[in-house]
Chain A
Amino acid sequence: MSTPKFVGVETEYGIAVDGPSPVNPVLASSMVVGAYRAVGEGDVRWDHTDESPQRDARSGVVPAPGEPMIDDELGLANTVLTNGARFYVDHAHPEYATPECTNARDLVVWDRAGELILADAAERAAASLPPGSRVLIHKNNTDGKGAAYGTHENYLVPRTVPFGRLTRQLLPFFVSRPLYTGAGRIGSELDRGVGFQLTQRADFFEVELGLETTLKRPLMNTRDEPHADPDRYRRLHVINGDANLCEVATFLKVGTMLLLLDAIEDDALPAVPVLAEPVAAFHAVSHDLTGRVELPLEAGGSATPLALQRWYLDAVRRYVKDRAQPLEAVEEEVLTRWEAVLDTAEEDPRLLAGQVDWATKLELLEGYRQRHDLDWDSDRLKMVDLQYHDVRTDKGLYHRLAARGRVERLVDDAEVAAAVHRPPEDTRAWFRGECIRRFRTQVVAAGWDALVLDAGRDSLQRVPMMEPGRGTRAQVGSLLDEVDDIAGLLQRLRG
């Protein structure tokens, strides 16, 4: 019987300042985060106490050097929002990490809320730059010139699930999922013959397994930093995905993983089709627009990405049929959409335009390319590629398509707008976000697994939150309603 899962997604956004004087991207990112932070009455710092990004899920592996923490010690903005999200500067990019969610639909809502926050923050930041300056933010993962930046999914799984099993059973899944998770891009880092490929990030992956995230990027990341009770949980840190604008893509990216992780936890998958060379296969899948490229298997023979996805869908369907737990409505929708997307891809993957990013963007690029008779290496065409990811609703081409009803939506704008300010109600993010909203001046710092509170005494009080499922509205809503300040809250928590 699988345990409840929690998911959050962190996105490093692309940033460009256009104006009379150049602005260093680290400073620009800090201005963006700082400008948004200034909206509130005060600043809630990030609490680093329990962070250890160099801890490795594999035993006996010496932590690799070279990932210095860039944080508020360097004077960079790093804060926590009333919706429970973290908003900060990482590696010269503004980064938004969603609050913890229990399901794929909520994740879509709070991920999209991040886009609104970035658009708002960029506009505010531009106002403090010399006249004529603009700050442009893109929800993308590469500049097309050799730099990549991340969109990482985080899934909480019980520590009892062996890491080796996760790796073995997930690698063929990661390699084949770009059919619906890819955000698409013109060109390639590896093959000049590639005009357009499924993913933004595949070319930047070099090894199967490892701790690094900025160099020698691994398909399976071994960072072991649960941000929760380390004896009970591990956080699976998935770094191989793209940033998605299409809601269907985000929904499937996360929804399929949540179901698959349940099946892996219950050890319910049959022997997976192990790939002979997962990294080469990941590149091949990204460079192929048919879904039918043959990927060599370790046991001999080969499988296409479509066949691999079909294998996982069938295995998960059998698992949910056999398990005692009933299927939640959102999980049902994940399975239905997963199957529909594979059926469409079976016919022609390009028919996924309007549902997944790479196909939506490719259709746009093809139309524009033909109208203006452009080559794939045309800079104007590359601008269309880039501007697809612009977070401004009046300029971003994804948003223009959405406004014309040409992409399928899963959540409504009012829900997303509310999620800019409000946390999910069914995780500890609710306690974090609501404490900040109600008692901002008394919340000194917040992290994923703790709040540091100032009750007006000599020392600050640290409230640990080691269980992501505790601190929900159902559990602490009335308690928060009944207290007037942090001192009252602490008194009630102790009592």
Chain B
Amino acid sequence: MSDGGQSQRRGDEQSPDEAVEQAPVEGGDAQARDVVDDVDELLDEIDDVLEENAEEFVRGYVQKGGQ
């Protein structure tokens, strides 16, 4: 199902207003921000906060079964 290319609803072809309508936000600043830049900034931020040694962390993430 890794069909790619389907996550572009906040992409170039869409106006910021449409995206805001779909995902209501609080505060005027966020609404005014350009949506494409926002996605880029968000992905930049993920790179910043993502666990260092992500691969190693994921491989070591083993939980005991629960309910």
Which residues from chain B contact A362 at a C-beta distance below 8 Å? 7
Partner of A368, one of B1, B24, B38, B46: B46
Q: How far is the CB of B60 from chain A (nearest CB, A)?
A: 8
| Residues of B in contact with A, size category | 35 or more
Which residues from chain A contact B60 at a C-beta distance below 8 Å? 16
Binary contact readout A189-201 vs B (1 if CB under 8 angstroms, 0 otherwise): 0000111100000
Partner of A350, one of B9, B59, B63, B64: B9
Q: Which residue of B lies closest to A18 (CB)?
A: B57
Do the beta carbons of B57 and A93 come within 8 Å of each other?
no
A362→B1 CA distance, assembly (Å): 12
Partner of A289, one of B1, B55, B65: B1
Q: Which residue of B lies closest to A388 (CB)?
A: B46
Do the beta carbons of A368 and B43 come within 8 Å of each other?
yes
A93→B31 CA distance, assembly (Å): 39
A147→B26 CA distance, assembly (Å): 37
Q: Which B9-67 residues have a C-beta within 8 angstroms of A?
A: 9-10, 22-27, 30-31, 38-39, 42-43, 45-46, 49-51, 54-55, 57-67
A386→B51 CA distance, assembly (Å): 10
Partner of B64, one of A93, A195, A382, A408: A93
Do the beta carbons of A405 and B25 come within 8 Å of each other?
yes
- Please, how many residues of chain A have a CB less than 8 angstroms from a CB on the other chain? 64
Give the residue among B23, B42, B49, B50 with the most A Cβ atoms within 10 A: B23
Do the beta carbons of A150 and B42 come within 8 Å of each other?
no
Do the beta carbons of A397 and B49 come within 8 Å of each other?
yes
Counting CB contacts under 8 A, is A395 at the interface? yes
Determine, out of A371-379, A436-444, A483-491, the stretch whose residues face the partner at the interface. A371-379
A404→B27 CA distance, assembly (Å): 10
Which residues from chain B contact A193 at a C-beta distance below 8 Å? 1
Do the beta carbons of A387 and B24 come within 8 Å of each other?
no
Do the beta carbons of B63 and A149 come within 8 Å of each other?
yes
Q: Which A100-146 residues have a C-beta within 8 angstroms of B?
A: 142-146
Counting CB contacts under 8 A, is A409 at the interface? yes
Which residues from chain B contact A395 at a C-beta distance below 8 Å? 49
Determine, out of A57-65, A265-273, A298-306, A351-359, the stretch whose residues face the partner at the interface. A351-359
Which residues from chain A contact B64 at a C-beta distance below 8 Å? 25-26, 91-93, 147, 149
Do the beta carbons of B67 and A213 come within 8 Å of each other?
yes
Given contact pairs A25-B63, A91-B64, A367-B7, A386 touches B58 in the complex (Cβ within 8 A): yes
Counting CB contacts under 8 A, is A14 at the interface? yes
Give the residue among A16, A148, A367 with the most B Cβ atoms within 10 A: A367
Which residues from chain A contact B4 at a C-beta distance below 8 Å? 366, 369-370
Q: How far is the CB of A384 from chain B (nearest CB, A)?
A: 7
A376→B2 CA distance, assembly (Å): 7
Do the beta carbons of A143 and B62 come within 8 Å of each other?
yes
Q: Which residue of A lies closest to B31 (CB)?
A: A405
Do the beta carbons of A405 and B26 come within 8 Å of each other?
yes
A383→B43 CA distance, assembly (Å): 14
Q: Which residue of A lies closest to B57 (CB)?
A: A383
Counting CB contacts under 8 A, is A90 at the interface? yes
A384→B49 CA distance, assembly (Å): 10
Q: How far is the CB of A267 from chain B (nearest CB, A)?
A: 31
A213→B30 CA distance, assembly (Å): 43
Counting CB contacts under 8 A, is A335 at the interface? no
Which residues from chain B contact A386 at a C-beta distance below 8 Å? 57-58, 61
Q: Which residue of B lies closest to A140 (CB)?
A: B63
Q: Which residue of B lies closest to A16 (CB)?
A: B61
Given contact pairs A214-B65, A355-B23, A400 touches B49 in the complex (Cβ within 8 A): yes
Which residues from chain B contact A407 at a C-beta distance below 8 Å? 23
Which residues from chain A contact B43 at a C-beta distance below 8 Å? 367-368, 371
Q: Which residue of B lies closest to A213 (CB)?
A: B67
Given contact pairs A90-B67, A195-B2, A401 touches B42 in the complex (Cβ within 8 A): yes
Q: Which residue of B lies closest to A15 (CB)?
A: B63
Do the beta carbons of A400 and B66 come within 8 Å of each other?
no
Do the beta carbons of B58 and A350 come within 8 Å of each other?
no
A384→B51 CA distance, assembly (Å): 9
Q: How far is the CB of A364 from chain B (nearest CB, A)?
A: 7
4 A-B pairs with least C-beta separation: A149-B66, A354-B23, A366-B7, A405-B25
- Chain A interface residues toward B at CB < 8 A: 12, 14-16, 18, 25-26, 90-93, 142-150, 152, 193-196, 213-214, 239, 289, 344, 350-351, 353-355, 362-364, 366-371, 375-376, 379-380, 382-384, 386-387, 394-395, 397, 400-401, 404-409
- Chain B interface residues toward A at CB < 8 A: 1-2, 4, 6-7, 9-10, 22-27, 30-31, 38-39, 42-43, 45-46, 49-51, 54-55, 57-67
Please name 5 pairs of A and B residues whose Cβ atoms are closer than 8 Å in the assembled complex, sorted by A: A15-B63, A93-B66, A367-B7, A379-B54, A379-B58
